[in-house]
Structure 1
């Protein structure tokens, strides 16, 4: 178990991987996007952290411990990043549109996890979806699905 966890950690690019010329793993890249939405508003609540955890569990076949490690790595990488292109680029290049739409919907679920959507969360979502080259209509539909899944009304 410990060996598999160490292998998992070694497989993640270091938080400054982009600066070192090494692209982050797709798992780390996706985790950074989710964490960036969580960090967008000043109050990153436990409910948003749980939404990130749930999203990563949906996206990747990882153990609870691996997801926790991945979130910690993503938080560090997000804090150190000067931009998000290093994290959106591998996803944009290697994931098909349905997979990109799924992560956008999961990012929306993180934004809506606390029952409210701040302007900075809305802007962060727009910027990340744009970097992933998600068409506006698909972006809006992903938002509507996430809002409905969160049980929020039209004004949220």
Structure 2
């Protein structure tokens, strides 16, 4: 699994080994978005489109790079036993502003199908806590997306 992730980031994004951490962070962000799309036990096409749009915009990826990142994130998400492996990378390496933007992306995915389920709301709240985003910014991110 790790070999395929490294191969993707080396071949597709032409990154040096010092940039491996950034690659892992992109994968972690994608995995969290995918986890959220599964929170209400219904994966809607609108949510998948919102995930892809957010990742493409945030990381400036080509269509091929985006498809590969989403595939790898799906695999990582299925293999994960907790959110910790994803949220820990985000917490340690994202600035407060980047964490705020990630939570906004989560809200965008949650609302993409027209409603925010209680499971989606709970998961976003949990992720925000795990990445140490202050509650006021959690609320602001939600209002920015819903407003």
Q: Note whether the superposition's TM-score is higher than 0.5.
A: yes
TM-score bucket (shorter structure): 0.7 to 0.9
- What is the aligned residue count? 136
- TM-aligned CA distance change 1:78 to 1:118, over 3 Å: same
When normalised by structure 2's length, the TM-score is 0.85
5+ residue gaps in structure 1? Answer: 12-21, 149-156
Superposed, 1:17-96 pairs within 5 Å as 25-96=24-95
RMSD, aligned CA: 2.4
When normalised by structure 1's length, the TM-score is 0.80
Taking the aligned partners of 2:9 and 2:118, their CA distance within structure 1 comes to: 38
- TM-aligned CA distance change 1:66 to 1:41, over 3 Å: same
Taking the aligned partners of 1:4 and 1:77, their CA distance within structure 2 comes to: 14
Q: What is the Cα deviation at residue 95 of structure 1?
A: 0.9
Q: Detail structure 1 runs of 4+ shifted over 3 Å in the superposition.
A: 3-6, 8-11
- TM-aligned CA distance change 1:6 to 1:147, over 3 Å: same
5+ residue gaps in structure 2? Answer: 1-6, 16-20
Taking the aligned partners of 2:42 and 2:35, their CA distance within structure 1 comes to: 13
- TM-aligned CA distance change 1:24 to 1:127, over 3 Å: farther
